Amino acid sequence: MPKLNRIIETALYVDDLERARAFYENVLGLQSVLTTRTLFAYDVGGASVLLLFKRGESLQTQRSPTGSIPPHDGSGPLHIAFAIDTEALPGWEETLARHDVTIEGRMSWDRGGTSLYFRDPDGHLLELMTPGVWRTY
């Protein structure tokens, strides 16, 4: 069987792109790599891309002169985790508090990692994860 190397991009679906932009840029400090009417894309650590789609706007095939993208969408609170350095954890706790973002959960994992859980404005569960959670991280 051919090998998968890693996840390059992941997507969340949001109701208000401008509200999401404010959160992901101002609270999480992500840098935009693409902005369209229905999609904002962000670089995550130079290793992956977070796509924020306007909910319901990608239900039709998107066509261009170079190809097409099949329909997709999502609803309900989804979950993604961001990798952080262990030393950065206290700084992230301060940053979230400064932006009035409630930390809903904290987990200390058997391998030594720690996770912090909080929500974005659309209710998606976000996680900040230090090394030592998975065998691969």
- pLDDT, one tens digit per residue, over 34-71 is 999 999 999 999 999 999 999 999 999 999 999 999 99
Residues 36, 94 within the same domain: no
Residues 84, 69 within the same domain: no
Measured CA distances, 59 to 53, 55, 64, 80, 100 (Å)? 11, 9, 16, 22, 34
Domain boundary among 73, 94, 126: 73
- Residue 11 has a pLDDT of 97
Cβ atoms of residues 34 and 49 within 8 Å: no
Q: Which domain holds residue 47?
A: 1-73
Residues 52, 80 within the same domain: no
From CA 124, how far away is CA 52, in angstroms rounded? 12
- Residue 19 has a pLDDT of 98
- pLDDT, one tens digit per residue, over 26-37 is 999 999 999 999
- pLDDT, one tens digit per residue, over 82-124 is 999 999 999 999 999 999 999 999 999 999 999 999 999 999 9
Residues 59, 80 within the same domain: no
What pTM, to 2 d.p., does this model score? 0.94
